[in-house]
Protein backbone atom coordinates (compact mmCIF):
# COMPACT_ATOMS: atom_id res chain seq x y z
CA UNK A 1 0.00 0.00 0.00
CA UNK A 2 1.49 3.33 -1.03
CA UNK A 3 1.18 6.68 0.69
CA UNK A 4 -0.31 9.28 -1.69
CA UNK A 5 1.88 11.96 -0.10
CA UNK A 6 5.05 10.16 -1.19
CA UNK A 7 6.06 10.67 -4.81
CA UNK A 8 7.80 7.78 -6.57
CA UNK A 9 10.99 8.78 -8.39
CA UNK A 10 12.16 6.17 -10.90
CA UNK A 11 15.89 5.88 -11.55
CA UNK A 12 17.70 3.98 -14.32
CA UNK A 13 20.37 2.31 -12.22
CA UNK A 14 20.27 0.48 -8.90
CA UNK A 15 21.73 3.47 -7.00
CA UNK A 16 21.73 7.28 -7.06
CA UNK A 17 23.60 9.77 -4.89
CA UNK A 18 21.63 12.09 -2.61
CA UNK A 19 22.70 15.31 -4.36
CA UNK A 20 21.71 13.87 -7.75
CA UNK A 21 18.33 12.71 -6.46
CA UNK A 22 17.49 16.13 -5.05
CA UNK A 23 18.00 17.62 -8.53
CA UNK A 24 16.23 14.77 -10.36
CA UNK A 25 13.15 15.06 -8.12
CA UNK A 26 13.11 18.86 -8.52
CA UNK A 27 13.54 19.31 -4.78
CA UNK A 28 16.35 21.80 -5.50
CA UNK A 29 17.33 24.03 -8.43
CA UNK A 30 21.00 23.05 -8.57
CA UNK A 31 23.90 21.37 -6.82
CA UNK A 32 24.74 24.47 -4.79
CA UNK A 33 21.26 24.51 -3.26
CA UNK A 34 21.47 20.75 -2.62
CA UNK A 35 24.79 21.18 -0.82
CA UNK A 36 23.42 23.99 1.37
CA UNK A 37 20.28 22.07 2.37
CA UNK A 38 22.28 18.94 3.19
CA UNK A 39 24.98 20.86 5.08
CA UNK A 40 22.34 22.67 7.16
CA UNK A 41 20.63 19.43 8.21
CA UNK A 42 17.44 20.05 6.23
CA UNK A 43 17.44 16.75 4.34
CA UNK A 44 16.17 13.49 5.83
CA UNK A 45 16.93 10.07 4.39
CA UNK A 46 14.61 7.33 5.65
CA UNK A 47 13.43 9.66 8.41
CA UNK A 48 16.87 10.66 9.70
CA UNK A 49 18.94 13.76 8.96
CA UNK A 50 21.82 12.93 6.62
CA UNK A 51 24.68 15.33 5.88
CA UNK A 52 26.40 13.29 3.17
CA UNK A 53 25.76 14.67 -0.32
CA UNK A 54 27.30 11.52 -1.78
CA UNK A 55 25.07 9.18 0.25
CA UNK A 56 24.09 6.25 -1.94
CA UNK A 57 20.34 5.72 -2.18
CA UNK A 58 18.66 2.54 -3.36
CA UNK A 59 15.18 1.23 -4.16
CA UNK A 60 12.71 2.02 -1.39
CA UNK A 61 14.77 4.76 0.27
CA UNK A 62 12.84 7.93 1.06
CA UNK A 63 14.13 11.50 1.05
CA UNK A 64 12.30 14.41 2.71
CA UNK A 65 13.00 18.10 2.08
CA UNK A 66 10.76 21.02 3.05
CA UNK A 67 7.87 18.70 3.91
CA UNK A 68 7.99 16.90 0.55
CA UNK A 69 8.88 13.19 0.52
CA UNK A 70 10.00 11.12 -2.45
CA UNK A 71 10.73 7.38 -2.69
CA UNK A 72 13.23 5.82 -5.06
CA UNK A 73 12.11 3.06 -7.40
CA UNK A 74 14.42 1.08 -9.65
CA UNK A 75 13.62 -1.03 -12.73
CA UNK A 76 15.06 -4.18 -11.12
CA UNK A 77 12.73 -4.05 -8.14
pTM: 0.90
Specify the pLDDT at position 75: 84
Domain holding 15, by residue range, is 6-73
47: in domain:
yes
Say if residue 2's pLDDT is above 60.
no
26: in domain:
yes
1: in domain:
no
- pLDDT tens-digit map of 9-65: 999 999 999 999 999 999 999 999 999 999 999 999 999 999 999 999 999 999 999
10: in domain:
yes
69: in domain:
yes
Give me the number of domains the chain comprises: 1
Specify the pLDDT at position 35: 95
CATH number for the domain that contains residue 47: 3.10.290.10
Specify the pLDDT at position 1: 45
Specify the pLDDT at position 46: 98
Determine how many CB atoms are found less than 10 A away from the CB of residue 12.
7
C-alpha span between 14 and 40 (Å, rounded)? 27
57, 1 Cβ separation under 8 angstroms: no
Residues 6+ apart with CB under 8 A from 55: 17, 18, 45
Q: Which helix (H) or strand (E) holds 45?
A: strand 43-45
Amino acid sequence: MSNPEIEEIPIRDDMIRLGQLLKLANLVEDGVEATELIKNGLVKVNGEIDDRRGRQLRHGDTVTVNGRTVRISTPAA
